[in-house]
Structure 1
Amino acid sequence: MQDQNTTAHTAPRRLIRMPEVQRLTGLGRTTIYKLIDAGTFPRQRKVTPTVVVWPEHEVAAWIARVLDGHTEGEQRAA
């Protein structure tokens, strides 16, 4: 039996595709891939030869850092 407190506070993890990443971030495809290349945006995962996805919680964490004024690139420079 699972602990109800643990289960109640754990959101299911989702994998999202590029259109959803773009919608959540407001960024275009090219910008997203440039940020990935720069190491400042979560890397995509290849799930089939033609499909890539991002863990939604990683994209949400990136958005939170941007809203807090802390991107990964700024943290390295500090």
Structure 2
Amino acid sequence: MHHSSSNTDQPEGFIGAQILRLPQVCRVTGLGRSMIYQLEAERRFPCRVRIGARAVGWVESEVQSWVAGRIQHHRAAPGPCMSHRSPLPSSEHATLTGQVPPFPGPR
């Protein structure tokens, strides 16, 4: 006999909910550990949830909403897409613009 569980078996908001650990949150947001904790302390990032005696995580949907909000805020801002600085590391930028840096030969 097949038993089908209904959605009422799960707490509200549980369906599809996942907990992300810190390395995953860093990957999803592009932020470092310190910045995540700083933004959280300033109430500008989702709060973590306790998942064990010494373990915490973040609700994936909340982190994704935060990322979507950052993208939306960025796209709504007037002005150029990027700052005036090159998005490439300086050595790549120099190479592409013909300003090749000196070769760091043997010393």
TM-score bracket, shorter-length normalisation: 0.7 to 0.9
Report the TM-score, using the length of structure 2 for normalisation: 0.54
- CA drift of 1:56 comes to 0.1
Report the number of matched residues: 63
Report the TM-score, using the length of structure 1 for normalisation: 0.73
Answer with 1 or 2: which has the greater Rg.
2
* More helix, by proportion: 1
Q: Which runs of 4+ in 1 moved over 6 A?
A: none
Alpha-carbon deviations, 1:46-68, whole Å to 9, x = none? 11121101110000000000000
Which structure 1 residue ranges, 5 or more long, are not aligned?
3-10, 71-78
SS in 1 for 2:51: strand
Residue of 2, 11, 18 corresponding to 1:14: 18
Residue of 50, 54, 58 corresponding to 2:62: 58
Query: What is the alpha-carbon root mean square deviation over aligned residues?
Result: 2.0
Q: How does 1:25-40 map to 2 (within 5 A)?
A: 25-40=29-44
Fraction of identical pairs, as percent: 35
Task: Select the structure with the greater relative contact order (CA < 8 A; seq sep ≥ 6).
Answer: 1
